[in-house]
Amino acid sequence: MLKKIIPTLASRESKELLCIDALKGIGAFIIAFFWHYQHFTPIQEFPLSSIFEISCTHGYLMVELFFMLSGFGMALGYQKKIQDKEIKFFPYIKKRFCRLYPPFLVALFATGFLECVHITQTGTTFIYGNFDLYHFLLNLLLLQNGLIATEWSFNSPSWCICICMLCYILFYIVVYKGASERSLFYKCIIVLFFAEYLFFGMAKPIFNAQIARGISCFSIGVMLSYAWRYKDRFNYQYLGKILLLLLIGGYIAIRYNPYITGNMQQLFILGIGPVIILTSLFHKHLNIIFQNKIFVFLGSISLNIYLWHYPVQCAIKDLDLLFSLSLDFSSILTWSIYVMATLAVAVFDRYFASKCYNKVFSTFIAQFKANSAPNH
């Protein structure tokens, strides 16, 4: 399978930019298999916490990295097309919607079913509450956390999908309304400032930390795309070496003195996250490592890992209760089973089920257009 997939990816993007896919895959892996493994509440510590301590304690920051990578990719892929009026809004948003929404929708229904099974066994949901029709409707409309509601519900890790769609819409509007490269850069700085210093700490619809995390990091990703486009104007390979040393030094400092960071989330947004992306792009040897087929393949299923890891956790927990398996979630064996199960579901969803999704959605959209067309 890898031989069939990787050449396609390599022909679509330059090899240097494959590190963006790789970072998405690594980020999804950390969130699903380290940070959110705490959902199982191991009796003892996480089986690999001594090795991957930072991933276990600060893995949530990979969501910030994901938003940055999304902004970076959208700026490179669509900014010029939008500025030149080569792509209209509905084809643009339809492409993003059809990529994100079908797997999100199926994972939502799967989560609902598995939570019902869990409720019959325990009387409550597995992790996240707010299991009602109102919150199901919010999830269905991609309004579950940030735009209207500010609480966790159903397949809660998928909240970033609705924020991504908002960022895509705002990006198109700003660029289409005549934002030059320089003005777009300045607007991103303004958005970053307001998101960072006004939205964080609030918990109201639209004005809340989830929105702030999304639009601030997406804006940073857009700004980072300028460094890539104009890299020939400076010694970017030398910069890559300096940034790698900074990353290594920062990791050692955080690993052995975690209190040195202060506000870790803000530090990651304004410093560590951008440095990770630029180092991956500009450091020659690190970039080559991220071109490895395993990393690129992991990146190709990153969205599916992110959407399906919580339903897989629900399924494992339901089976544990139904059959009285008494699984030891502190063991490497149980962790490995969970990882393999999630990867298997993600691969199936990405490369097999997606064909059904696309066919159904294409048919639905074609039928909708036919019914909406005026009768003559």
Q: Is the pLDDT of residue 13 over 50?
A: no
Residue 179 belongs to a domain: yes
Q: Is the pLDDT of residue 52 over 70?
A: yes
Residue 358 belongs to a domain: yes
Residue 133 belongs to a domain: yes
Residue 370 belongs to a domain: no
| Nearest Cα to Cα of residue 218 among 345, 329, 66 | 66
Domain range holding 230? 2-363
**CA-based radius of gyration for the chain:** 21
Alpha-helical runs (H) found in 141-291: 159-176, 181-194, 209-229, 236-256, 264-267, 273-282, 284-290
Q: Is the pLDDT of residue 371 over 70?
A: no
Least confident of 33-37, 101-105, 250-254: 250-254
CB 19 within 8 A of CB 281: yes
Residue 374 belongs to a domain: no
Residue 255 belongs to a domain: yes
Q: Is the pLDDT of residue 319 over 70?
A: yes
CB 301 within 8 A of CB 346: yes
Residue 376 belongs to a domain: no
Quickly tell me which residue has 């210093």 as its tokens.
197
First to last CA, the chain: 50
Residues 6 or more apart in contact with residue 40 via CB below 8 angstroms: 313, 316, 317, 329, 338
Query: Residue 148: its pLDDT value, please?
Result: 85
Kindly tell me the burial class for residue 295, based on how many C-beta atoms sit within 10 Å of its own C-beta (0-12, 13-18, 19 or more): buried
Residue 177 belongs to a domain: yes
CB 343 within 8 A of CB 305: yes
Residue 240: Cβ within 10 Å count:
21
Query: Residue 209: its pLDDT value, please?
Result: 83
Cα–Cα distance for residue pair 167/94, rounded to 1 Å: 14
- Mean pLDDT in the chain? 87
Query: Residue 373: its pLDDT value, please?
Result: 60
Q: How many structural domains are present in the chain?
A: 1
